[in-house]
Structure 1
Protein backbone atom coordinates (compact mmCIF):
# COMPACT_ATOMS: atom_id res chain seq x y z
CA UNK A 1 0.00 0.00 0.00
CA UNK A 2 1.33 3.43 -0.89
CA UNK A 3 2.16 4.96 2.49
CA UNK A 4 1.31 8.49 1.41
CA UNK A 5 -2.33 7.53 0.84
CA UNK A 6 -4.81 7.23 3.71
CA UNK A 7 -8.37 5.96 3.97
CA UNK A 8 -10.41 9.18 4.28
CA UNK A 9 -13.06 9.96 6.89
CA UNK A 10 -16.54 8.62 6.04
CA UNK A 11 -15.06 6.05 3.65
CA UNK A 12 -17.55 3.54 2.29
CA UNK A 13 -17.33 -0.11 1.28
CA UNK A 14 -19.93 0.06 -1.48
CA UNK A 15 -20.46 -3.65 -2.09
CA UNK A 16 -20.71 -6.49 0.41
CA UNK A 17 -23.07 -9.37 1.11
CA UNK A 18 -24.36 -10.81 4.36
CA UNK A 19 -25.31 -14.46 4.80
CA UNK A 20 -26.97 -15.24 8.11
CA UNK A 21 -28.32 -18.66 9.14
CA UNK A 22 -31.27 -16.90 10.82
CA UNK A 23 -32.55 -16.21 7.30
CA UNK A 24 -33.26 -19.17 5.01
CA UNK A 25 -31.57 -19.18 1.63
CA UNK A 26 -34.06 -19.86 -1.15
CA UNK A 27 -32.17 -20.31 -4.41
CA UNK A 28 -29.20 -22.55 -5.23
CA UNK A 29 -26.01 -20.76 -6.20
CA UNK A 30 -22.77 -21.67 -7.95
CA UNK A 31 -20.77 -20.23 -5.06
CA UNK A 32 -20.14 -21.32 -1.47
CA UNK A 33 -23.83 -21.75 -0.86
CA UNK A 34 -25.09 -21.82 2.70
CA UNK A 35 -22.42 -20.03 4.68
CA UNK A 36 -22.45 -17.86 7.75
CA UNK A 37 -21.01 -14.43 7.10
CA UNK A 38 -23.01 -12.22 9.39
CA UNK A 39 -23.14 -8.49 9.97
CA UNK A 40 -21.20 -8.94 13.19
CA UNK A 41 -18.49 -10.80 11.27
CA UNK A 42 -18.35 -7.99 8.76
CA UNK A 43 -17.90 -5.46 11.58
CA UNK A 44 -14.40 -6.88 12.13
CA UNK A 45 -13.63 -6.54 8.43
CA UNK A 46 -14.98 -3.00 8.42
CA UNK A 47 -12.71 -2.08 11.31
CA UNK A 48 -9.69 -3.55 9.53
CA UNK A 49 -10.52 -1.61 6.36
CA UNK A 50 -11.04 1.61 8.37
CA UNK A 51 -14.28 2.36 6.55
CA UNK A 52 -17.18 4.05 8.31
CA UNK A 53 -19.96 3.28 5.87
CA UNK A 54 -21.18 0.19 4.05
CA UNK A 55 -23.59 -0.84 1.30
CA UNK A 56 -25.15 -4.27 1.80
CA UNK A 57 -26.34 -6.04 -1.36
CA UNK A 58 -28.90 -8.84 -1.16
CA UNK A 59 -27.31 -12.08 -2.48
CA UNK A 60 -29.27 -13.92 -5.12
CA UNK A 61 -29.49 -16.91 -2.75
CA UNK A 62 -32.33 -15.13 -0.92
CA UNK A 63 -34.42 -14.52 -4.05
CA UNK A 64 -36.51 -11.38 -3.35
CA UNK A 65 -36.45 -11.81 0.43
CA UNK A 66 -34.39 -8.82 1.55
CA UNK A 67 -34.75 -9.45 5.29
CA UNK A 68 -31.11 -10.46 5.70
CA UNK A 69 -29.98 -7.18 4.13
CA UNK A 70 -32.40 -5.03 6.12
CA UNK A 71 -31.27 -6.72 9.32
CA UNK A 72 -27.62 -6.03 8.46
CA UNK A 73 -28.36 -2.37 7.74
CA UNK A 74 -30.10 -2.07 11.10
CA UNK A 75 -27.16 -3.70 12.88
CA UNK A 76 -24.62 -1.39 11.26
CA UNK A 77 -26.94 1.59 11.67
CA UNK A 78 -29.08 3.17 8.97
CA UNK A 79 -27.03 6.37 9.28
CA UNK A 80 -23.91 4.43 8.27
CA UNK A 81 -25.36 1.76 5.98
CA UNK A 82 -27.39 1.54 2.83
CA UNK A 83 -28.70 -1.43 0.89
CA UNK A 84 -29.43 -2.72 -2.60
CA UNK A 85 -32.42 -5.05 -2.79
CA UNK A 86 -33.66 -7.69 -5.19
CA UNK A 87 -37.24 -7.00 -6.26
CA UNK A 88 -39.73 -7.90 -8.97
CA UNK A 89 -42.18 -5.48 -10.61
CA UNK A 90 -45.11 -6.76 -8.55
CA UNK A 91 -43.70 -5.20 -5.36
CA UNK A 92 -46.34 -2.92 -3.81
CA UNK A 93 -45.94 0.79 -3.14
CA UNK A 94 -46.07 0.43 0.64
CA UNK A 95 -43.17 -2.01 0.53
CA UNK A 96 -41.10 0.41 -1.52
CA UNK A 97 -41.78 3.20 0.98
CA UNK A 98 -40.81 0.91 3.86
CA UNK A 99 -37.63 -0.25 2.13
CA UNK A 100 -36.63 3.34 1.43
CA UNK A 101 -37.01 4.21 5.12
CA UNK A 102 -34.91 1.17 6.02
CA UNK A 103 -32.02 2.31 3.83
CA UNK A 104 -32.53 0.62 0.46
CA UNK A 105 -31.32 2.76 -2.42
CA UNK A 106 -31.26 0.45 -5.44
CA UNK A 107 -32.41 -2.78 -7.06
CA UNK A 108 -29.92 -5.32 -8.32
CA UNK A 109 -30.29 -7.50 -11.42
CA UNK A 110 -27.82 -10.38 -11.23
CA UNK A 111 -28.25 -11.82 -14.70
CA UNK A 112 -24.77 -12.95 -15.72
CA UNK A 113 -26.00 -16.52 -15.22
CA UNK A 114 -29.71 -16.22 -16.06
CA UNK A 115 -30.51 -19.79 -15.04
CA UNK A 116 -29.74 -18.89 -11.41
CA UNK A 117 -31.28 -15.43 -11.47
CA UNK A 118 -34.28 -14.47 -9.34
CA UNK A 119 -35.17 -11.78 -11.90
CA UNK A 120 -35.07 -11.33 -15.68
CA UNK A 121 -34.24 -8.70 -18.28
CA UNK A 122 -37.91 -7.93 -18.96
CA UNK A 123 -38.36 -6.83 -15.35
CA UNK A 124 -35.81 -4.03 -15.48
CA UNK A 125 -37.84 -1.29 -17.15
CA UNK A 126 -40.96 -1.89 -15.04
CA UNK A 127 -38.88 -1.76 -11.86
CA UNK A 128 -37.06 1.36 -13.06
CA UNK A 129 -40.39 3.12 -13.54
CA UNK A 130 -41.44 2.18 -10.00
CA UNK A 131 -38.27 3.32 -8.21
CA UNK A 132 -37.28 6.39 -10.22
CA UNK A 133 -39.16 8.87 -8.03
CA UNK A 134 -37.53 7.41 -4.91
CA UNK A 135 -34.14 8.44 -6.28
CA UNK A 136 -32.98 4.81 -6.42
CA UNK A 137 -30.81 3.20 -9.09
CA UNK A 138 -30.58 -0.15 -10.82
CA UNK A 139 -27.44 -2.17 -10.21
CA UNK A 140 -26.43 -4.58 -12.96
CA UNK A 141 -24.27 -7.64 -12.63
CA UNK A 142 -24.13 -8.60 -16.30
CA UNK A 143 -21.57 -10.03 -18.65
CA UNK A 144 -19.96 -7.67 -21.15
CA UNK A 145 -21.80 -9.47 -23.95
CA UNK A 146 -25.11 -8.84 -22.20
CA UNK A 147 -24.31 -5.13 -22.01
CA UNK A 148 -23.87 -5.09 -25.78
CA UNK A 149 -27.00 -7.14 -26.42
CA UNK A 150 -29.11 -4.79 -24.28
CA UNK A 151 -27.60 -1.45 -25.26
CA UNK A 152 -30.98 -0.05 -26.32
CA UNK A 153 -32.53 -1.04 -23.00
CA UNK A 154 -29.74 0.74 -21.12
CA UNK A 155 -30.35 3.86 -23.16
CA UNK A 156 -34.05 3.90 -22.26
CA UNK A 157 -33.65 3.61 -18.50
CA UNK A 158 -34.77 6.83 -16.78
CA UNK A 159 -32.52 6.56 -13.72
CA UNK A 160 -28.92 5.94 -12.67
CA UNK A 161 -27.28 2.65 -13.63
CA UNK A 162 -24.56 1.07 -11.48
CA UNK A 163 -22.36 -1.52 -13.17
CA UNK A 164 -20.96 -4.21 -10.92
CA UNK A 165 -17.44 -5.53 -10.72
CA UNK A 166 -15.46 -3.42 -13.19
CA UNK A 167 -18.02 -4.09 -15.93
CA UNK A 168 -17.08 -7.79 -16.15
CA UNK A 169 -14.90 -7.18 -19.18
CA UNK A 170 -13.17 -10.40 -20.31
CA UNK A 171 -9.45 -9.73 -19.93
CA UNK A 172 -8.67 -11.25 -23.33
CA UNK A 173 -10.37 -8.23 -24.92
CA UNK A 174 -10.52 -5.81 -22.02
CA UNK A 175 -11.28 -2.26 -23.07
CA UNK A 176 -11.46 -3.39 -26.70
CA UNK A 177 -14.70 -5.21 -25.93
CA UNK A 178 -17.62 -3.14 -27.32
CA UNK A 179 -19.25 -3.12 -23.88
CA UNK A 180 -16.48 -0.82 -22.66
CA UNK A 181 -17.48 1.95 -25.07
CA UNK A 182 -21.16 1.62 -24.09
CA UNK A 183 -20.40 1.82 -20.38
CA UNK A 184 -17.94 4.69 -20.87
CA UNK A 185 -20.50 6.73 -22.80
CA UNK A 186 -23.10 6.25 -20.08
CA UNK A 187 -20.61 7.22 -17.39
CA UNK A 188 -19.42 10.33 -19.25
CA UNK A 189 -23.04 11.35 -19.78
CA UNK A 190 -23.64 11.18 -16.03
CA UNK A 191 -26.05 8.25 -16.32
CA UNK A 192 -23.95 5.39 -14.98
CA UNK A 193 -21.56 4.47 -12.20
CA UNK A 194 -18.88 1.81 -11.94
CA UNK A 195 -18.07 -0.34 -8.94
CA UNK A 196 -14.36 -1.05 -8.65
CA UNK A 197 -14.88 -4.43 -7.05
CA UNK A 198 -14.13 -8.16 -7.34
CA UNK A 199 -11.08 -8.01 -9.65
CA UNK A 200 -10.76 -11.77 -9.20
CA UNK A 201 -13.94 -12.52 -11.16
CA UNK A 202 -12.33 -11.95 -14.56
CA UNK A 203 -8.61 -12.03 -13.79
CA UNK A 204 -6.65 -14.85 -15.35
CA UNK A 205 -3.49 -14.27 -13.32
CA UNK A 206 -5.32 -14.42 -10.02
CA UNK A 207 -4.01 -13.48 -6.63
CA UNK A 208 -0.53 -14.79 -7.46
CA UNK A 209 -0.35 -12.13 -10.16
CA UNK A 210 -2.05 -9.51 -7.97
CA UNK A 211 -4.92 -9.40 -10.50
CA UNK A 212 -2.68 -7.24 -12.67
CA UNK A 213 -4.60 -8.07 -15.85
CA UNK A 214 -7.55 -5.94 -14.69
CA UNK A 215 -5.45 -2.92 -13.73
CA UNK A 216 -5.83 -1.18 -17.09
CA UNK A 217 -9.63 -1.34 -17.00
CA UNK A 218 -9.81 -0.14 -13.40
CA UNK A 219 -7.57 2.84 -14.05
CA UNK A 220 -9.51 3.61 -17.21
CA UNK A 221 -12.82 3.91 -15.34
CA UNK A 222 -11.19 6.19 -12.79
CA UNK A 223 -9.74 8.37 -15.54
CA UNK A 224 -12.78 8.74 -17.78
CA UNK A 225 -15.32 9.50 -15.05
CA UNK A 226 -13.63 10.04 -11.67
CA UNK A 227 -16.87 11.36 -10.18
CA UNK A 228 -18.76 8.17 -11.16
CA UNK A 229 -16.75 5.38 -9.53
CA UNK A 230 -17.04 3.75 -6.11
CA UNK A 231 -15.16 0.88 -4.47
CA UNK A 232 -16.51 -2.30 -2.92
CA UNK A 233 -14.85 -5.22 -1.16
CA UNK A 234 -17.32 -7.87 -2.40
CA UNK A 235 -16.92 -9.50 1.00
CA UNK A 236 -17.21 -12.43 1.78
CA UNK A 237 -15.95 -13.37 -1.72
CA UNK A 238 -18.23 -16.39 -2.07
CA UNK A 239 -17.20 -17.05 -5.67
CA UNK A 240 -13.76 -18.18 -4.47
CA UNK A 241 -12.90 -21.39 -2.64
CA UNK A 242 -9.96 -19.59 -1.06
CA UNK A 243 -11.13 -16.02 -0.43
CA UNK A 244 -8.46 -13.30 -0.38
CA UNK A 245 -7.61 -11.08 2.55
CA UNK A 246 -10.13 -8.27 2.06
CA UNK A 247 -7.54 -5.71 3.16
CA UNK A 248 -5.42 -6.70 0.16
CA UNK A 249 -8.27 -5.67 -2.13
CA UNK A 250 -8.20 -2.23 -0.53
CA UNK A 251 -4.48 -2.14 -1.28
CA UNK A 252 -5.35 -2.93 -4.89
CA UNK A 253 -7.50 0.21 -5.00
CA UNK A 254 -4.58 2.22 -3.64
CA UNK A 255 -2.49 0.97 -6.57
CA UNK A 256 -5.09 2.21 -9.06
CA UNK A 257 -5.34 5.82 -7.87
CA UNK A 258 -2.80 8.55 -8.47
CA UNK A 259 -3.35 10.80 -5.48
CA UNK A 260 -5.21 11.31 -2.22
CA UNK A 261 -7.89 13.44 -3.86
CA UNK A 262 -8.82 10.56 -6.17
CA UNK A 263 -8.96 8.13 -3.26
CA UNK A 264 -11.12 10.52 -1.23
CA UNK A 265 -13.53 10.83 -4.14
CA UNK A 266 -13.86 7.07 -4.71
CA UNK A 267 -14.17 6.10 -1.05
CA UNK A 268 -16.05 9.04 0.41
CA UNK A 269 -17.63 11.78 -1.70
CA UNK A 270 -18.83 9.58 -4.59
CA UNK A 271 -20.65 7.02 -2.41
CA UNK A 272 -22.03 9.86 -0.29
CA UNK A 273 -23.72 11.22 -3.43
CA UNK A 274 -24.87 7.87 -4.76
CA UNK A 275 -26.18 6.32 -1.55
CA UNK A 276 -26.79 9.20 0.86
CA UNK A 277 -27.66 11.97 -1.61
CA UNK A 278 -25.03 14.29 -0.18
CA UNK A 279 -21.79 15.80 -1.50
Structure 2
Protein backbone atom coordinates (compact mmCIF):
# COMPACT_ATOMS: atom_id res chain seq x y z
CA UNK A 1 0.00 0.00 0.00
CA UNK A 2 1.46 3.35 -1.04
CA UNK A 3 1.24 6.25 1.39
CA UNK A 4 -0.18 9.43 -0.13
CA UNK A 5 1.66 12.74 0.16
CA UNK A 6 0.29 16.09 1.22
CA UNK A 7 0.19 18.79 -1.47
CA UNK A 8 2.90 21.43 -1.33
CA UNK A 9 1.96 25.03 -0.61
CA UNK A 10 0.78 26.52 -3.88
CA UNK A 11 1.12 30.13 -2.77
CA UNK A 12 4.27 30.44 -0.62
CA UNK A 13 5.31 33.75 0.86
CA UNK A 14 7.80 36.00 -0.89
CA UNK A 15 10.93 35.94 1.28
CA UNK A 16 12.18 39.11 2.90
CA UNK A 17 15.77 37.93 2.47
CA UNK A 18 17.34 38.90 -0.83
CA UNK A 19 19.54 36.06 -2.01
CA UNK A 20 22.91 36.64 -3.70
CA UNK A 21 23.15 36.48 -7.49
CA UNK A 22 23.51 32.91 -8.69
CA UNK A 23 21.92 31.39 -5.58
CA UNK A 24 21.39 27.64 -5.86
CA UNK A 25 18.73 25.35 -4.44
CA UNK A 26 20.95 22.28 -4.07
CA UNK A 27 18.26 19.85 -2.93
CA UNK A 28 14.85 19.68 -4.58
CA UNK A 29 12.88 17.27 -6.72
CA UNK A 30 10.61 16.96 -9.72
CA UNK A 31 7.85 14.36 -9.57
CA UNK A 32 6.03 13.34 -12.72
CA UNK A 33 3.67 14.49 -14.00
CA UNK A 34 2.66 10.87 -13.62
CA UNK A 35 0.97 10.75 -17.03
CA UNK A 36 4.33 11.50 -18.66
CA UNK A 37 6.78 10.04 -16.13
CA UNK A 38 5.14 7.18 -14.20
CA UNK A 39 6.21 6.46 -10.64
CA UNK A 40 8.14 3.30 -9.80
CA UNK A 41 5.99 0.24 -8.98
CA UNK A 42 8.20 -0.52 -5.96
CA UNK A 43 7.77 2.96 -4.43
CA UNK A 44 6.67 3.32 -0.81
CA UNK A 45 4.78 6.58 -1.36
CA UNK A 46 2.93 8.33 -4.15
CA UNK A 47 3.77 12.05 -4.38
CA UNK A 48 1.67 14.78 -5.85
CA UNK A 49 2.72 15.86 -9.32
CA UNK A 50 5.49 18.44 -9.00
CA UNK A 51 6.72 19.29 -12.50
CA UNK A 52 9.63 21.42 -13.63
CA UNK A 53 7.41 24.37 -14.61
CA UNK A 54 6.08 24.69 -11.07
CA UNK A 55 9.55 24.44 -9.55
CA UNK A 56 10.95 27.05 -11.96
CA UNK A 57 8.16 29.47 -11.06
CA UNK A 58 8.81 28.90 -7.35
CA UNK A 59 12.50 29.62 -7.80
CA UNK A 60 11.71 32.84 -9.63
CA UNK A 61 9.60 33.90 -6.67
CA UNK A 62 12.27 32.97 -4.14
CA UNK A 63 15.16 34.61 -6.00
CA UNK A 64 16.93 31.32 -6.83
CA UNK A 65 18.88 31.14 -10.09
CA UNK A 66 20.21 27.57 -10.16
CA UNK A 67 18.97 24.13 -9.21
CA UNK A 68 20.26 20.71 -8.23
CA UNK A 69 17.59 18.07 -8.68
CA UNK A 70 17.86 14.98 -6.52
CA UNK A 71 16.30 11.74 -7.71
CA UNK A 72 13.84 10.42 -5.15
CA UNK A 73 12.80 6.84 -4.46
CA UNK A 74 9.31 7.30 -5.91
CA UNK A 75 10.88 7.34 -9.40
CA UNK A 76 13.38 4.61 -8.54
CA UNK A 77 16.29 4.31 -10.98
CA UNK A 78 14.32 5.81 -13.85
CA UNK A 79 15.91 9.27 -14.03
CA UNK A 80 13.91 10.37 -17.09
CA UNK A 81 11.83 13.08 -15.38
CA UNK A 82 14.96 14.62 -13.87
CA UNK A 83 16.88 14.50 -17.14
CA UNK A 84 13.95 16.13 -18.95
CA UNK A 85 13.94 18.99 -16.42
CA UNK A 86 17.69 19.49 -16.69
CA UNK A 87 17.45 19.62 -20.49
CA UNK A 88 14.78 22.31 -20.24
CA UNK A 89 16.71 24.44 -17.76
CA UNK A 90 19.09 26.09 -20.17
CA UNK A 91 22.18 25.03 -18.21
CA UNK A 92 20.98 26.27 -14.81
CA UNK A 93 20.25 22.80 -13.47
CA UNK A 94 22.31 19.75 -12.49
CA UNK A 95 21.21 16.41 -11.10
CA UNK A 96 21.91 13.64 -8.62
CA UNK A 97 20.64 10.32 -9.94
CA UNK A 98 19.84 6.87 -8.62
CA UNK A 99 21.18 3.85 -10.48
CA UNK A 100 21.08 0.08 -10.22
CA UNK A 101 24.18 -1.94 -9.43
CA UNK A 102 24.04 -3.28 -13.01
CA UNK A 103 24.15 0.16 -14.65
CA UNK A 104 26.41 0.16 -17.71
CA UNK A 105 29.25 2.57 -18.41
CA UNK A 106 27.28 3.84 -21.40
CA UNK A 107 24.29 4.60 -19.17
CA UNK A 108 26.50 6.45 -16.69
CA UNK A 109 27.95 8.51 -19.54
CA UNK A 110 24.43 9.26 -20.77
CA UNK A 111 23.56 10.57 -17.31
CA UNK A 112 26.74 12.65 -17.23
CA UNK A 113 25.98 14.14 -20.63
CA UNK A 114 22.51 14.93 -19.33
CA UNK A 115 23.85 16.95 -16.40
CA UNK A 116 24.07 14.39 -13.60
CA UNK A 117 27.03 14.87 -11.27
CA UNK A 118 26.39 12.33 -8.50
CA UNK A 119 24.34 9.37 -7.32
CA UNK A 120 22.24 8.96 -4.21
CA UNK A 121 22.09 6.10 -1.72
CA UNK A 122 19.20 5.73 0.75
CA UNK A 123 19.48 4.23 4.24
CA UNK A 124 16.12 5.54 5.49
CA UNK A 125 13.61 2.97 6.72
CA UNK A 126 10.43 4.56 5.41
CA UNK A 127 11.85 4.68 1.87
CA UNK A 128 12.14 0.90 1.62
CA UNK A 129 15.09 -1.45 1.50
CA UNK A 130 18.53 -0.03 2.33
CA UNK A 131 21.07 0.45 -0.41
CA UNK A 132 23.31 -2.61 -0.66
CA UNK A 133 26.70 -1.80 0.87
CA UNK A 134 28.56 -3.88 -1.71
CA UNK A 135 26.76 -2.05 -4.51
CA UNK A 136 27.55 1.30 -2.89
CA UNK A 137 31.24 0.46 -2.85
CA UNK A 138 31.23 -0.80 -6.44
CA UNK A 139 29.31 2.17 -7.79
CA UNK A 140 31.45 4.70 -5.92
CA UNK A 141 34.54 3.27 -7.60
CA UNK A 142 32.84 3.42 -11.01
CA UNK A 143 31.71 7.04 -10.73
CA UNK A 144 35.05 8.32 -9.48
CA UNK A 145 36.53 8.71 -13.00
CA UNK A 146 33.53 10.87 -13.95
CA UNK A 147 34.32 13.32 -11.15
CA UNK A 148 31.01 12.56 -9.47
CA UNK A 149 30.16 12.39 -5.79
CA UNK A 150 27.85 10.28 -3.64
CA UNK A 151 24.85 11.69 -1.77
CA UNK A 152 23.97 9.67 1.31
CA UNK A 153 20.59 9.84 3.04
CA UNK A 154 20.35 8.16 6.42
CA UNK A 155 18.69 8.41 9.81
CA UNK A 156 20.91 9.61 12.63
CA UNK A 157 20.97 6.30 14.47
CA UNK A 158 22.52 4.62 11.43
CA UNK A 159 25.66 6.72 11.35
CA UNK A 160 27.68 4.66 13.83
CA UNK A 161 27.44 1.67 11.48
CA UNK A 162 27.69 3.63 8.23
CA UNK A 163 30.60 5.94 9.05
CA UNK A 164 33.35 3.30 8.70
CA UNK A 165 31.91 2.27 5.32
CA UNK A 166 31.58 5.82 4.04
CA UNK A 167 35.17 6.60 4.96
CA UNK A 168 36.35 3.89 2.54
CA UNK A 169 34.61 5.35 -0.52
CA UNK A 170 36.90 6.97 -3.12
CA UNK A 171 34.63 9.95 -3.93
CA UNK A 172 33.40 13.09 -2.17
CA UNK A 173 30.26 12.44 -0.13
CA UNK A 174 27.34 14.75 0.64
CA UNK A 175 25.20 14.05 3.72
CA UNK A 176 21.51 14.85 3.32
CA UNK A 177 19.47 16.89 5.81
CA UNK A 178 22.16 17.42 8.47
CA UNK A 179 22.23 13.66 9.10
CA UNK A 180 18.63 13.82 10.37
CA UNK A 181 19.30 14.28 14.11
CA UNK A 182 16.46 14.59 16.60
CA UNK A 183 16.44 18.37 17.15
CA UNK A 184 14.93 18.00 20.63
CA UNK A 185 18.16 16.36 21.83
CA UNK A 186 20.35 19.37 21.07
CA UNK A 187 23.69 19.77 19.32
CA UNK A 188 25.54 17.85 22.03
CA UNK A 189 23.77 14.56 21.25
CA UNK A 190 26.07 11.66 20.25
CA UNK A 191 24.58 11.27 16.76
CA UNK A 192 25.34 14.86 15.84
CA UNK A 193 28.79 14.52 17.39
CA UNK A 194 29.47 11.59 15.06
CA UNK A 195 28.44 13.74 12.10
CA UNK A 196 30.84 16.48 13.21
CA UNK A 197 33.60 13.88 13.50
CA UNK A 198 32.83 12.63 10.00
CA UNK A 199 32.94 16.17 8.65
CA UNK A 200 36.53 16.49 9.91
CA UNK A 201 37.37 14.47 6.79
CA UNK A 202 37.46 17.01 3.96
CA UNK A 203 35.87 14.60 1.51
CA UNK A 204 32.54 15.06 3.31
CA UNK A 205 29.97 17.79 2.66
CA UNK A 206 26.61 18.32 4.36
CA UNK A 207 23.30 19.89 3.40
CA UNK A 208 21.92 22.29 6.01
CA UNK A 209 18.36 21.78 4.82
CA UNK A 210 15.61 19.66 6.30
CA UNK A 211 14.78 21.86 9.29
CA UNK A 212 11.16 20.82 8.79
CA UNK A 213 12.25 17.17 9.01
CA UNK A 214 14.40 17.24 12.14
CA UNK A 215 12.28 19.72 14.14
CA UNK A 216 10.23 18.54 17.09
CA UNK A 217 8.60 21.92 17.75
CA UNK A 218 7.42 22.73 14.21
CA UNK A 219 7.54 26.11 12.46
CA UNK A 220 9.51 28.37 12.73
CA UNK A 221 11.96 25.50 13.43
CA UNK A 222 13.84 27.20 16.26
CA UNK A 223 15.12 23.86 17.53
CA UNK A 224 16.60 22.97 14.11
CA UNK A 225 18.39 26.24 13.41
CA UNK A 226 21.14 25.50 15.95
CA UNK A 227 22.26 22.43 13.99
CA UNK A 228 22.42 24.25 10.67
CA UNK A 229 24.22 27.21 12.19
CA UNK A 230 26.79 24.93 13.83
CA UNK A 231 27.54 23.21 10.53
CA UNK A 232 27.79 26.43 8.52
CA UNK A 233 30.10 27.96 11.10
CA UNK A 234 32.41 24.95 11.35
CA UNK A 235 32.47 23.82 7.72
CA UNK A 236 31.76 26.91 5.65
CA UNK A 237 33.45 25.54 2.51
CA UNK A 238 31.56 22.22 2.49
CA UNK A 239 27.95 23.13 3.18
CA UNK A 240 25.02 23.26 0.78
CA UNK A 241 21.38 24.27 1.18
CA UNK A 242 18.13 23.39 -0.51
CA UNK A 243 14.38 23.74 -0.14
CA UNK A 244 13.61 20.00 -0.46
CA UNK A 245 10.56 21.06 -2.52
CA UNK A 246 7.95 19.60 -2.87
CA UNK A 247 8.65 18.16 0.60
CA UNK A 248 7.81 14.47 0.16
CA UNK A 249 6.66 12.50 3.21
CA UNK A 250 5.95 15.55 5.37
CA UNK A 251 2.95 14.45 7.42
CA UNK A 252 1.84 17.83 8.80
CA UNK A 253 2.80 21.52 8.75
CA UNK A 254 3.72 21.58 5.06
CA UNK A 255 6.57 24.13 4.85
CA UNK A 256 6.27 27.60 3.37
CA UNK A 257 9.24 27.80 1.00
CA UNK A 258 9.49 31.55 1.42
CA UNK A 259 9.84 31.05 5.18
CA UNK A 260 12.54 28.43 4.58
CA UNK A 261 14.51 31.01 2.59
CA UNK A 262 14.12 33.56 5.37
CA UNK A 263 15.49 30.98 7.79
CA UNK A 264 18.84 31.48 6.05
CA UNK A 265 19.12 34.87 7.78
CA UNK A 266 19.57 32.89 11.00
CA UNK A 267 21.56 29.98 9.58
CA UNK A 268 24.13 32.07 7.69
CA UNK A 269 23.68 35.70 8.81
CA UNK A 270 27.09 36.86 7.58
CA UNK A 271 27.10 37.78 3.85
CA UNK A 272 30.33 35.88 3.22
CA UNK A 273 28.87 32.68 4.68
CA UNK A 274 25.65 33.07 2.70
CA UNK A 275 27.67 33.57 -0.49
CA UNK A 276 29.59 30.36 0.12
CA UNK A 277 26.50 28.39 1.09
CA UNK A 278 24.37 29.41 -1.88
CA UNK A 279 26.83 30.30 -4.65
CA UNK A 280 30.46 29.33 -4.24
CA UNK A 281 30.04 25.84 -2.77
CA UNK A 282 27.42 24.52 -5.21
CA UNK A 283 29.44 25.95 -8.09
CA UNK A 284 32.52 24.04 -6.91
CA UNK A 285 30.59 20.77 -6.72
CA UNK A 286 28.14 20.98 -9.61
CA UNK A 287 29.63 23.48 -12.05
CA UNK A 288 33.38 22.93 -11.43
CA UNK A 289 34.30 24.19 -14.87
CA UNK A 290 32.75 27.57 -14.06
CA UNK A 291 34.39 27.65 -10.63
CA UNK A 292 37.79 26.96 -12.16
CA UNK A 293 37.28 29.63 -14.82
CA UNK A 294 36.46 32.19 -12.11
CA UNK A 295 39.46 31.11 -10.02
CA UNK A 296 41.79 31.64 -12.98
CA UNK A 297 40.71 35.22 -13.57
Using the size of structure 1 for normalisation, the TM-score is: 0.92
Unmatched 5+ stretches in structure 2: 1-13, 292-297
- 1:14 maps to 2:26: yes
Q: Which residue of 2 aligns with 1:177?
A: 189
Q: Which residue of 2 aligns with 1:47?
A: 60
Residue number among 235, 245, 254 corresponding to 2:265 in the alignment: 254
Instruction: Summarize the alignment of residues 70-81 of structure 1 with structure 2, pairs less than 5 Å apart.
Output: 70-77=83-90, 79-81=91-93
Q: Deviations over 1:185-218 (max 9, x none)?
A: 33333111111112111211112xx111111111
CA spacing shift, 1:72–1:214, aligned 2, 3 Å: same
Unmatched 5+ stretches in structure 1: none
Q: Which residue of 1 aligns with 2:40?
A: 26
Counterpart CA distance in 2 for 1:212 and 1:28 is 36
Any conservation in 2 of the 1:236–1:243 contact (CA below 8 Å)? no
- 1:199 maps to 2:194: no
Q: For residue 119 of structure 1, report the CA deviation from its aligned partner.
A: 3.4
Any conservation in 2 of the 1:111–1:120 contact (CA below 8 Å)? no
CA spacing shift, 1:275–1:170, aligned 2, 3 Å: same
Q: Which residue of 1 aligns with 2:11?
A: none
Could you list the structure 1 runs, at least 4 aligned residues long, displaced by more than 3 angstroms after superposition.
27-31
Any conservation in 1 of the 2:96–2:120 contact (CA below 8 Å)? yes
Q: Which residue of 1 aligns with 2:3?
A: none
Q: For residue 183 of structure 1, report the CA deviation from its aligned partner.
A: 2.5
Counterpart CA distance in 1 for 2:231 and 2:200 is 10
Q: Which residue of 2 aligns with 1:131?
A: 143
Using the size of structure 2 for normalisation, the TM-score is: 0.86
- Aligned-residue CA RMSD in angstroms? 2.0
> In the comparison of the two structures, how many residue pairs are matched?
274
Counterpart CA distance in 1 for 2:184 and 2:65 is 36
When structure 1 is superposed on structure 2, of 266-275 and 109-118 the one drifting more is 109-118
Instruction: Summarize the alignment of residues 99-178 of structure 1 with structure 2, pairs less than 5 Å apart.
Output: 99-113=111-125, 116-117=128-129, 119-178=131-190
